[in-house]
Amino acid sequence: MMVGKRAMPLVAMGMMFLVIGLLVACGERAGVEVNDLPAEETPAVGTRPTPEPTAVQEPEPVLTVQGKEAVPIPTEQMAEAETDAAPVESLAVVRKLVMLDPGHQRHGNNAPEAVGPDTREVKPKVSSGTVGIRTKKPEYVLNLEVSQLVKAELVKRGIEVAMTRESHEVDISNKQRAEMANEAGAALAVRIHADGDNSPKTSGFSVLYPSAASAALKPIAAESRQAAGFIAEQLKAATGTAGRGLSARSDLSGFNWSKVPVVLVELGFMTNPEEDERLSEAEYQQKLAAGIADGIERFLNAGSPAR
Q: Is 103 helix (H, G, I), strand (E, B) or coil?
A: coil
Residue type, 176: Q
Distance of CA 89 to the CA centre of its chain: 9
Task: Answer yes or no: is pLDDT of 276 > 60.
Answer: yes
Rounded Cα distance, 216 and 211, in Å:
9
Q: Say what the pTM is.
A: 0.70
Q: Which amino acid is at 110?
A: N
pLDDT exceeds 90 at position 75: no
Residue 304 pLDDT class (50, 70, 90 cuts): confident
Q: Report the mean per-residue pLDDT for the chain.
A: 80
Classify residue 41 by its DSSP letter.
G
- Residue 124 CB contacts under 8 Å (≥ 6 apart), including other chains: 108, 109, 110, 111, 112, 113
Among 28-37, 120-129, 233-242, name the one with the lowest average pLDDT. 28-37
Question: In 3-state terms, what secondary structure has residue 96?
Answer: coil
Instruction: Evaluate if residue 259 carries a pLDDT over 70.
Output: yes
Q: State pLDDT tens for residues 136-150.
A: 999 999 999 999 999
Percent of the chain with pLDDT over 70: 68
Q: How many residues does the chain have?
A: 307
As a whole number of Å, the end-to-end CA separation of the chain is: 137
Q: How many CB atoms lie within 10 A of CB 13?
A: 10
